[in-house]
Structure 1
Amino acid sequence: MSSQDNSEENLPQQQDDADGGVLATRDNPFANPGLPPHEHRVQDIDERAAKRSERVVAGLFTLSMLSTIGFIASFVAFPVDKIVYVFPIGHVSALNLSLGLTLGLALFCIGAGAIHWARTLMTDVEVPEERHDIEATPEVREEVLAGFQDGARESDLGRRKLVRNTLIGAMAMVPLTGLVLLRDLGPMPGTMLRHTKWAKGKMLINENTHEPLRPEDIAVGSLTFAMPEGLSEEDHDFNNQIAKAALMIVRLQPENIKDKRELDWSHEGIVAFSKICTHVGCPISLYEQQTHHVLCPCHQSTFDLTDGGRVIFGPAGHALPQLRITVNDKGYLEAMGDFAEPVGPAYWERG
């Protein structure tokens, strides 16, 4: 018999290891040897080392909270269009860069703190567990619950109050970044719609000819579109501004105007109303000369220009805002201020 056969014969049929494994046997020479002996960490035997680890974890959680505060401060401090040069990236948005760095640092510090806490302060004793059926018996459920309670106790969450409090603070503050980002979905309606480029003394400029309008340029029954003086198509925010300030001008017979305020705000029967429909903000462009009604092409909201621009049909919720106009000493039509009420669709802050 060979030496190899002699060695296999010398193996016992089965022998349990002290660490829970099974030693090699003749029938199973590659049996599970079990877990290696447990080695205690320095934090397990030295409370000063444990305190140092606790301070490191708390410092990471505190840095996460400061980063969250920095995220909010960056959102307030940096304008959207501010560009900075960062080597070697190049020119980038200061707002995007600061938001990314502060949010990334806040999340990283929470993760790093949790990992350092688990590796240095929580229990690291490995316990083998045999596989079992998916459906647990009542005994197993009680055992799992007891294990969860033991884990919570061994995590030292109750005793390590510094770690616990800073973790709670960091986890509570990180969601604030999401709330702040909600503000970037767009401007508040009250800020966006309440004010336009119209102001006292600004002349009415024909949108097609880009020339100031005189009363004699407006014929009875015609519909003219105008924009405020100083607004240029070359402006970077032209589309945003004209979407609020677009004006339509109609000349009526003064005796046909039913609303007294509309008559007072007009000039020789020339009335100026916002071109923006008060339903969902579509531009109004259809004018019926005989009835003096204007129609929104999107959802057929209809407004009476002889009666303060009130709604007479369709889903629009309120009348078209009117712009008070007059004639300056050069004979040009000009505004006497901004619209008295916000233009465009209704919103909940509107009075």
Structure 2
Amino acid sequence: MTEKNLPAKPEEHHGDVELAEPIPDPGIEPHEPRITDIDPKAADRVERQVSGMFGLATLLVLGACVAYFAIPRDSIIEFGPLSGNANNMTIGLCIGLALFLIGAGAIQWAKKLMVDEEISEERHAAHSSPEQIAEITEAFKQGTAESGFTRRKMIRNSLIGALAALGLPAVVLLRDLGPLPGRALYTTIWAKGIRIVNDVTDRPIKPADLVVGQLVNAQPANLAELQEESPAAYQNAKAKAAVIVVRIKPSEIRTKPGRENWGIDGILCYSKICTHVGCPISLYEQTTHHVLCPCHQSTFDLADSAKVVFGPAARPLPQLPLAVDSEGYLVAQSDFTEPVGPSFFERG
């Protein structure tokens, strides 16, 4: 073995790297007391500051609740070229500042008043023995005492008040969810003789326009009249009246009793609104005749009265009975015979 092939010794250099002994643990630096640790007056000032932040946060939360009722919904506030809804902006600013003050107060409390001495401990196994559990419990109690949460009543009470007040806007804003559906979903603008039109072209549909396996998104022909009269009424009506029209081989359809005359040569029409939470659906698989809701994967079998075959939906899609008018176009025999849209408590 030549000299250059001899194994390297630990003290030799390897390129630019020099082997050396590990640096010894320097340990924890001596603790330096803060001014709040040695001056009770300074600690009291910080306590008042933190309590003031929590108290102001409480007032801001209450202000958000007052603003919800006091500021008109259509009131606009302008900042030069920018503008926005005064009601929403005031509520948002109040709640945002309240959360900021609670966070800032907690940071100030931790930095200036809680014990800040550093400690070290050896790593241990992931599981804990009964003795370790008792030790951790005792350490938690000690930490609670050192934080001053039980001793500094002003901070404790103001924090509890601020956090409790944060729930008030959530209760108030529940009003914006609107009224319960009541009987609003029991009727749509579908009626006897209303033509079914393509929801993109607004062209009425004839049976000959559809081939087996095809699905078309559609709507009632009288929907266009509402668009000119009232945009809000138009959107509400469209949200309930949207439908899907599908053509299936008649031999593959399992007709529900009482619906024998609801289809035309294998053409069926169902509500487009999922009965789970109301998402629009039209993802169709023609081989299985299944239509899938993209939101939560509820799956309906259109060849079997749109019954639920998978997912969280609790009931089938409502079916619209079809007929053909004197000019050969698909029309509704009547409105839906059951409520459309998501299930709700008042449905009965």
TM (norm. structure 1) is 0.50
Give the total of aligned pairs.
219
Amino acid at match of 1:43: T
Structure 2 match to 1:239: 234
- Deviation, 1:187, is 4.1
Shift in CA distance, 241/126, structure 1 to aligned 2, threshold 3 Å: closer
Runs of 4+ residues deviating >6 angstroms: 190-193, 240-243, 284-287, 345-350
State the alpha-carbon separation in 2 of the partners of residues 43 and 133 from structure 1: 37
**Which residue among 138, 147, 150 is the counterpart of 2:130?**
138
**1:59 and 2:72 equivalent?**
no
Match for 2:54: what amino acid?
A: F
Once the two structures are TM-superposed, the CA of residue 166 in structure 1 deviates from its matched residue by: 0.6
Shift, 1:146, TM fit: 1.2
Aligned twin of 1:164: 156
**Residue of structure 2 in register with 1:222 after alignment:** none
- Distance between the aligned counterparts of 1:348 and 1:45, measured in 2? 62
Matched residue, 1:91: 83
Specify the SS of the correspondent of 1:91. strand
1:183 is matched with 175
After superposition, where does 1:1-351 map in structure 2 within 5 Å? 28=21, 30-87=23-80, 90-187=82-179, 233=228, 235=230, 237-239=232-234, 295-296=334-335, 301=336, 316=338
Q: TM-score, normalised by structure 2?
A: 0.50
Q: What's the secondary structure of 2:149's corresponding residue?
A: coil
Residue 232 of structure 1 and its aligned partner are, at CA, apart by 9.4
**1:125 Cα shift?**
1.0
- In structure 2, how many angstroms separate the alpha carbons of the residues matched to 1:165 and 1:148? 21
* Kept in 1: contact 2:227–2:234 (CA 8 A): no
| Offset of residue 96 of structure 1 | 2.4
The amino acid that maps onto 1:123 is V
Structure having the higher Rg: 1
State the 1:64 CA deviation. Answer: 1.0
1:145–1:347 distance in 2 versus 1, CA, 3 Å: closer
Pair 171,192 (structure 1): closer, same or farther in 2 beyond 3 Å = farther
Distance 1:135-1:232 versus aligned 2 partners, 3 A rule: closer
Secondary structure of the corresponding residue to residue 159 of structure 2: helix
> Cα 1:346–1:117, aligned 2, differ >3 Å: closer, same or farther?
closer
**Secondary structure of the corresponding residue to residue 49 of structure 1:** helix
Shift of the alpha carbon at 1:295?
2.4
Q: Provide the C-alpha distance between the structure 2 equivalents of 1:235 and 1:82, rounded to a whole number of angstroms.
A: 22
Cα RMSD for the two superposed structures: 4.4
The DSSP-based 3-state class of the residue aligned with 1:233 is helix
Query: C-alpha deviations, 1:108-137, integer Å up to 9, x for none?
Result: 111111111111111111111111111122
**Is the partner of 1:81 in helix, strand or coil?**
coil
Q: Which residue of 1 aligns with 2:274?
A: none
**For 1:248-302, what per-residue CA distance to the aligned partner results, in whole angstroms no more than 9, with x for missing partners?**
xxxxxxxxxxxxxxxxxxxxxxxxxxxxxxxx9x9x9989xxxxxx721xxxx55
Q: Which moved more, 1:177-186 or 1:62-71?
A: 177-186
Aligned equivalents of 2:183, 2:104: Cα separation in 1: 41
**How far apart, CA to CA, are the structure 2 residues paired with 1:127 and 1:347?**
56
**Percent pairwise identity:** 44
SS of residue in 1 equivalent to 2:77: strand
Q: Distance in 2 between matches of 1:153 and 1:161?
A: 12
CA distance in 2 between partners of 1:126 and 1:87 (Å): 51
Say which SS state the counterpart of residue 84 (structure 1) adopts.
strand
* 1:78-126 deviation line (CA, Å, top 9, x unaligned): 34333221246x0112222112211111111111111111111111111
2:114 and 2:51 map into 1 onto residues whose CA distance is 14
**Residues 119, 180 of structure 1: alpha-carbon distance in 2 compared, 3 angstrom cutoff:** same
Kindly provide the CA deviation profile for residues 307-341 of structure 1, in whole angstroms up to 9, marking residues without a partner as x. xxxxxxxxx49xxxxxxxxxxxxxxxxxxxxxxxx
Per the alignment, in what secondary structure is the counterpart of residue 228 of structure 2?
coil
